Amino acid sequence: MDPRAEIRTFLTSRRAKITPAQAKLPAYGGNRRVAGLRREEVAMLAGVSVDYYTKLERGNFGSVSESVLYALARALQLTEPEREHLFHLAAGTATIKPGRRRALAQTVRPAVQRVVDGLTDAPAFVRNNSRDLLAANMMGRALYSGMYGDTAPGETPNTVRYFFFNEDARTFFRDWNKSAAEVVANLRTEVGRDPHDRALQELVAELMAGSGEFASLWADHDVRYHDTGNKELHHPVVGDLDLTFEVLDLPADVGQSLIVYGAEPGSSTEEALRLLSIWAATNEGQWAPQDPAREGLA
- Span 49-83, pLDDT tens digits: 888 889 888 888 877 888 888 888 889 999 888 88
At 77, give phi and psi (nearest 5°).
55, 45
Quickly state the pLDDT bin for 29 (edges 50, 70, 90): low
**CATH 3.30.450.180 for the 110-283 domain, yes or no:** yes
CA angle 207, 211, 212 (to 5 degrees): 125
Closest to 282 in 3D by CA, of 142, 87, 74, 123: 142
What is the average pLDDT across 144-165? 92
Quickly state the pLDDT bin for 27 (edges 50, 70, 90): low
Map residue 144 onto helix, strand or coil.
Answer: coil
What is the average pLDDT across 136-165? 92
How high is the pLDDT of residue 193? 82
Quickly state the pLDDT bin for 226 (edges 50, 70, 90): confident
CA angle 23, 220, 202 (to 5 degrees): 145
Quickly state the pLDDT bin for 163 (edges 50, 70, 90): very high
Give start-end residues of each CATH 1.10.260.40 domain in the chain: 3-92
192: pLDDT strictly greater than 80: yes
Give start-end residues of each CATH 3.30.450.180 domain in the chain: 110-283
Across the strands, what pairs with 235? 239
> CATH fold of 3-92, please?
434 Repressor (Amino-terminal Domain) (1.10.260)
Q: Structure pTM?
A: 0.73
97: pLDDT strictly greater than 80: no
